[in-house]
Chains A and B, each alone.
Chain A
Amino acid sequence: MTRGRADARAPNLDEPVVVRDVVKRFGDTVALDGVSMAVRRAEIFGFIGPDGAGKTTLFRILTTLLVPDAGEARVLGMDVVRDLWQIRPRLGYMPGRFSLYPDLSVIENLTFFASVFGTTVDAARDVIAPIYSQIERFHDRRAAALSGGMKQKLALCCALVHRPDVLFLDEPTTGVDAVSRREFWELLGQLKASGLTIVVSTPYMDEAGRCDRVALVQRGRILELDAPGVIGSRYRHPLVAVRGGDRQRVLTALREFPHAVSAFPFGETIHYADARSGSDPAAIARELDVWLAQRGLDGARAEAAQAGIEDVFMDLMETPRPQAAA
Chain B
Amino acid sequence: MRTLRFLLRKEYRQIARDRMMLAQILVLPVIQLLLLANAATFEVTRARLYAVDLDHTVTSRALIDRLVSSGRFARAGSSGSMALADAAMLDRRADVIARIPRDFERDLLRVDAAPVQLILDAKDGAAAAVTRSYASTIITGYAAELGAARPGRQAFALGAPAPAAPRVEVRSRAWYNPGLDYQDYMVPGILVELITIAGTLLTAVNITREKEIGTLDQLNVTPVTRAQFIAGKLIPLWSIALVEFGVGLAVAAVVFHVPMRGSVALVVGVAAIYLVAALGIGLWVSTIAGTQQQAMFITFFLMLIYLLMSGLFTPLRSMPDWAQWIAHLNPVMYFVRIMRDVLMKGAGPSDIAPDVGILALYGALVFTLAVRQYAKRSA
Q: Which of B1-17 contact A (CB under 8 A)?
A: 2-3, 6-7, 10, 13-14, 17
List A contacts of B222 (CB < 8 A). 88-89, 113, 116-117, 162
The CA-CA distance from A253 to B364 in the complex, in Å, is 74
| B215, A93: Cβ atoms closer than 8 Å | no
List B contacts of A116 (CB < 8 A). 3, 6-7, 219, 222-224
In the assembled complex, A135 has its CB within 8 A of some CB on chain B: no
In the assembled complex, A35 has its CB within 8 A of some CB on chain B: no
List B contacts of A118 (CB < 8 A). 2-3, 223
List A contacts of B219 (CB < 8 A). 116
| B223, A64: Cβ atoms closer than 8 Å | no
| B218, A95: Cβ atoms closer than 8 Å | yes
The CA-CA distance from A55 to B7 in the complex, in Å, is 31
Tell me the minimal C-beta distance from A100 to chain B in angstroms: 7
Q: Which residue of B lies closest to A67 (CB)?
A: B379
The prevalent SS among residues of B at the interface is helix
Q: Which of A67, A89, A104 contacts B13 (CB under 8 A)?
A: A104
| B13, A91: Cβ atoms closer than 8 Å | no
In the assembled complex, B351 has its CB within 8 A of some CB on chain A: no
Q: Which of A63, A67, A88, A98 contacts B223 (CB under 8 A)?
A: A88
The prevalent SS among residues of A at the interface is loop
| A97, B3: Cβ atoms closer than 8 Å | no
In the assembled complex, B18 has its CB within 8 A of some CB on chain A: yes
List A contacts of B224 (CB < 8 A). 116
The CA-CA distance from A276 to B2 in the complex, in Å, is 68
Tell me the minimal C-beta distance from A169 to chain B in angstroms: 13
In the assembled complex, B220 has its CB within 8 A of some CB on chain A: yes
| B6, A99: Cβ atoms closer than 8 Å | no
Tell me the minimal C-beta distance from A67 to chain B in angstroms: 6
In the assembled complex, B165 has its CB within 8 A of some CB on chain A: no
Interface size classification for chain B: 20 to 34
The CA-CA distance from A97 to B215 in the complex, in Å, is 10
List A contacts of B39 (CB < 8 A). none
In the assembled complex, A275 has its CB within 8 A of some CB on chain B: no
Contact with A along B220-241 (1 / 0, CB 8 A): 1111100000000000000000
List A contacts of B215 (CB < 8 A). 99-101
In the assembled complex, B217 has its CB within 8 A of some CB on chain A: yes
The CA-CA distance from A65 to B216 in the complex, in Å, is 10
| B14, A93: Cβ atoms closer than 8 Å | no
The CA-CA distance from A153 to B49 in the complex, in Å, is 78
List B contacts of A117 (CB < 8 A). 222-223
The CA-CA distance from A259 to B34 in the complex, in Å, is 83
Q: Which of B10, B213, B378, B379 contacts A112 (CB under 8 A)?
A: B10
Q: How many residues of A contact B (CB 8 A)?
A: 28
Given contacts A101-B215, A118-B2, contact A65 B223 (CB under 8 A): no
Tell me the minimal C-beta distance from B310 to chain A in angstroms: 35
Q: Which of B346-368 contact A (CB under 8 A)?
A: none
| A88, B213: Cβ atoms closer than 8 Å | no
The CA-CA distance from A118 to B5 in the complex, in Å, is 11
| B3, A93: Cβ atoms closer than 8 Å | no
The CA-CA distance from A112 to B3 in the complex, in Å, is 10
In the assembled complex, A266 has its CB within 8 A of some CB on chain B: no
The CA-CA distance from A304 to B319 in the complex, in Å, is 87
List A contacts of B13 (CB < 8 A). 104, 108
Given contacts A67-B379, A99-B213, A102-B213, contact A91 B221 (CB under 8 A): yes
Contact with A along B191-232 (1 / 0, CB 8 A): 000000000000000000000011101111111100000000
The CA-CA distance from A63 to B219 in the complex, in Å, is 11
List B contacts of A97 (CB < 8 A). 214
Q: Which of B7, B10, B14, B219 has the most CB of A within 10 A?
A: B10
In the assembled complex, A206 has its CB within 8 A of some CB on chain B: no
Tell me the minimal C-beta distance from B332 to chain A in angstroms: 32
Q: Which of A64, A101, A102 contacts B221 (CB under 8 A)?
A: A64
Tell me the minimal C-beta distance from A201 to chain B in angstroms: 15
List A contacts of B6 (CB < 8 A). 112, 115-116
In the assembled complex, A51 has its CB within 8 A of some CB on chain B: no
The CA-CA distance from A88 to B3 in the complex, in Å, is 15
Given contacts A89-B223, A112-B6, A118-B2, contact A99 B218 (CB under 8 A): yes
| B217, A88: Cβ atoms closer than 8 Å | no
| A85, B14: Cβ atoms closer than 8 Å | no
Q: Which of B322-379 contact A (CB under 8 A)?
A: 378-379
List A contacts of B2 (CB < 8 A). 115, 118
Tell me the minimal C-beta distance from A24 to chain B in angstroms: 13
List B contacts of A101 (CB < 8 A). 10, 14, 213, 215
In the assembled complex, A226 has its CB within 8 A of some CB on chain B: no
List B contacts of A162 (CB < 8 A). 222
A-B residue pairs in contact (CB < 8 Å), sample of 11:
A91-B221, A95-B217, A99-B213, A99-B218, A104-B13, A108-B10, A115-B2, A115-B3, A116-B219, A118-B3, A158-B218
- List residues of B whose CB falls within 8 A of some A CB: 2-3, 6-7, 10, 13-14, 17-18, 213-215, 217-224, 378-379
11 more contacts with CB within 8 A, not counting A67-B379, A99-B218, A113-B222, are: A65-B221, A85-B223, A99-B215, A101-B14, A103-B14, A108-B10, A116-B222, A118-B2, A118-B3, A158-B218, A162-B222
3 tightest A-B CB contacts, nearest first: A99-B214, A115-B6, A93-B221
- List residues of A whose CB falls within 8 A of some B CB: 60, 63-65, 67, 85, 88-89, 91, 93, 95, 97-104, 108, 112-113, 115-118, 158, 162
